[in-house]
Amino acid sequence: MSLIYSLDIIGTFAFAVSGALIASKKKFDLFGVLIIAFITAVGGGMIRDVLINYHPINWIGDLNYIWTILIAVIFTFLFKSKIAPLSKTLFLFDTIGIAVFTMLGTEKGLNFGLHPFVAVVMGVVSAVMGGVLRDVLTQQVPLIFKKEIYALACFIGAFVFLLLNNLKLSINLQYLITVITVVTIRLVAVKYKLKLPTIKEDLFGKLK
């Protein structure tokens, strides 16, 4: 099992746990928790594969993703009282997850022959759309629509991967630098509460 595949599985597990925790807080039954965990973990990759017409879709071609999600749901039910307070730990796993999925999505887009910018978009879709679907289904405002820097970190990471790919660096170095970039941006943004601006008033309104 390669390092990047291992990270992919870890990211899938972390996303599934986060989805299961949110569904549990919403008082969903076991089936509902399983669906939310599934959507959170593989929703982004599934949307990416559908958009680029790639077959088989990620989880269909590799059942390890399904087993990982099932284990994550069981893990959540067994140890919910222990892991629910560990928000920082889950945040770190989530951040590593979006970094890995950003990189994998961008790489898959490039390998599929997409325009580099479209490949970058596919990387971001892979990383964030599972969380968007989770939040919509649990009636929450998706994180990427708030001021917190989340999708922007993925965009920057995808462009970094694109640059490194054009420089023909070793693939492991491309993976490492991209992951470090996304993780660093997320950690710094949260630590110092860096946020994107919101549109409170139009320019002409300020001039009056």
pTM passes above 0.75: yes
Looking at residue 71, what is its pLDDT?
97
Tokens 């490039």 belong to residue:
110
Q: 202 in a domain, yes or no?
A: no
* Residue 180 in this model has a pLDDT that exceeds 70: yes
CA triple 128-129-131, angle to 5 deg: 70
Looking at residue 142, what is its pLDDT?
87
Q: 163 in a domain, yes or no?
A: yes
Count of the separate structural domains present in the chain:
1
With CA atoms as reference, report the closest residue to 137 among 36, 33, 25: 36
Q: 39 in a domain, yes or no?
A: yes
Q: 103 in a domain, yes or no?
A: yes
Q: How confident is the model at residue 156 (pLDDT cuts 50, 70, 90)?
A: very high
Q: 208 in a domain, yes or no?
A: no
Looking at residue 157, what is its pLDDT?
97
User: What span, in angstroms and rounded, lies between the C-alpha atoms of 62 and 1?
Assistant: 13
Quick check: 41 and 15 in contact, CB under 8 A? yes
With CA atoms as reference, report the closest residue to 45 among 22, 61, 27, 29: 61
The per-type count for the chain, helices as H runs and strands as E runs, is: 9, 0
What range does the domain containing 186 cover? 3-196
Q: 206 in a domain, yes or no?
A: no
Mean pLDDT of the 158-183 span: 93
Q: 54 in a domain, yes or no?
A: yes
| Percent with pLDDT over 90 in the chain | 60
**How far, in whole angstroms, is CA 108 from its chain's centroid?**
15
Q: Which of 9-23, 50-64, 124-138, 191-205 is least confident?
A: 191-205
Per-residue pLDDT reduced to its tens digit, 49-84: 999 999 999 899 999 999 999 999 999 989 888 876
Q: 187 in a domain, yes or no?
A: yes
User: What span, in angstroms and rounded, lies between the C-alpha atoms of 26 and 29?
Assistant: 9
User: What span, in angstroms and rounded, lies between the C-alpha atoms of 107 and 24?
Assistant: 34
Q: For residue 121, give the H/E element and its range.
A: helix 116-137
* Residue 207 in this model has a pLDDT that exceeds 70: no
Quick check: 157 and 103 in contact, CB under 8 A? yes
Looking at residue 139, what is its pLDDT?
92
Terminal CA-CA length for the chain? 63
